[in-house]
Structure 1
Amino acid sequence: MLQARLGPLTGRLRQAAGLPCGLAKTLTTSATAKASTGSQQQDSIVSSLSIPAAPEPAERTSAFLRTYKPRTPGVRHLKRPINDHLWKGRPFLPLTFPKKGHGKGGRNNQGRITVRHRGGGVKRRIRMVDFERWAPGAHLVERIEHDPGRSAHIALLTNQTTGRKSYIVAAEGMRAGDVVQSYREGIPQDLLDIMGGTIDPGILAARTAHRGNCLPLHMIPVGTLVYNVGSQAGKGAVFCRSAGTYAVITSREERSGDDAKGSGGRFVHVRLQSGEVRRVSKDACATIGVASNPHHHDRQLGKAGRSRWLNIRPTVRGVAMNRVDHPHGGGRGKSKSNRHPTSPWGTPAKGGYKTRRKHNVNRWVIIPRARNMGKRRSKGGD
Structure 2
Amino acid sequence: MTTVLKKPTSPGVRAQVNIKRNHSVQKSYKKLTVPLKGPKGRSHGTVSVHHQSRGAKKNYRIIDFKRNKNNVLGKVVSIEYDPNRNADIALINYIDGEKRYIIAVEGLEIGDSIVSGDHVEPKIGNAMRISEIPLGMQIHNIELQPNKGGQMVRGAGTYAVVTAKEGDYVNVRVPSGEVRKVLGTCFATIGAVSNPDFKNTKIGKAGRKIHMGVRPTVRGIAFSNPRDHAHGGSYKSTGIGLKQPVSRTGVPSKGYKTRRKKKSNFYKIKDRRTR
Superposition TM-score, scaled by structure 2 size: 0.87
1:355 shift after superposition: 5.7
Are 2:25 and 2:78, in contact at CA under 8 Å, matched by a contact in 1?
A: no
Structure scoring higher RCO (CA < 8 A, sep ≥ 6) equals 2
Matched, 1:94 2:31: yes
When the two chains are superposed, the root-mean-square deviation of aligned CA atoms in Å is: 2.2
Cα–Cα, structure 1 residues 180 and 358, in superposed 2: closer, same or farther, change >3 Å?
A: closer
1:125 shift after superposition: 0.8
Are 2:90 and 2:102, in contact at CA under 8 Å, matched by a contact in 1?
A: yes
Q: 2:251 aligns with which of 347, 365, 380?
A: 347
Cα distance in 2 for partners of 1:144, 1:291 equals 13
Runs of 4 or more above 4 Å deviation: 352-359
Residue segments in structure 2 that go unaligned for 5+ positions in a row: 263-275
Are 1:319 and 1:334, in contact at CA under 8 Å, matched by a contact in 2?
A: no
Once the two structures are superposed, the pairs formed by residues 171-182 of structure 1 within 5 Å of their partners are 171-182=105-116
1:121 alignment counterpart = 55
Matched, 1:152 2:87: yes
Q: Give the SS at the match of 2:208.
A: helix
1:162 alignment counterpart = 96
Matched, 1:313 2:215: yes
1:140 alignment counterpart = 75
Figure out how many residues of one structure are paired with residues of the other and give that number: 259
Q: Give the SS at the match of 2:221.
A: helix
Are 1:120 and 1:308, in contact at CA under 8 Å, matched by a contact in 2?
A: no
- The answer to which structure has the higher strand fraction is 2
Q: Deviations over 1:13-52 (max 9, x none)?
A: xxxxxxxxxxxxxxxxxxxxxxxxxxxxxxxxxxxxxxxx
Q: 2:137 aligns with which of 221, 224, 228?
A: 224
Are 1:122 and 1:310, in contact at CA under 8 Å, matched by a contact in 2?
A: yes
1:300 alignment counterpart = 202
Are 2:104 and 2:193, in contact at CA under 8 Å, matched by a contact in 1?
A: yes
Amino acid at match of 1:165: K
Cα distance in 1 for partners of 2:146, 2:191 equals 20
2:269 alignment counterpart = none
Cα distance in 2 for partners of 1:304, 1:89 equals 26
Matched, 1:130 2:32: no
Cα distance in 2 for partners of 1:358, 1:99 equals 35
Cα distance in 2 for partners of 1:70, 1:234 equals 50
Q: Give the SS at the match of 2:73.
A: strand
1:333 shift after superposition: 4.0
Are 1:146 and 1:153, in contact at CA under 8 Å, matched by a contact in 2?
A: yes
Cα distance in 1 for partners of 2:156, 2:5 equals 21
Residue segments in structure 1 that go unaligned for 5+ positions in a row: 1-62, 188-203, 254-264, 360-382
1:223 shift after superposition: 0.5
1:88 shift after superposition: 4.2
Are 1:319 and 1:335, in contact at CA under 8 Å, matched by a contact in 2?
A: no
Q: Give the SS at the match of 2:42.
A: coil
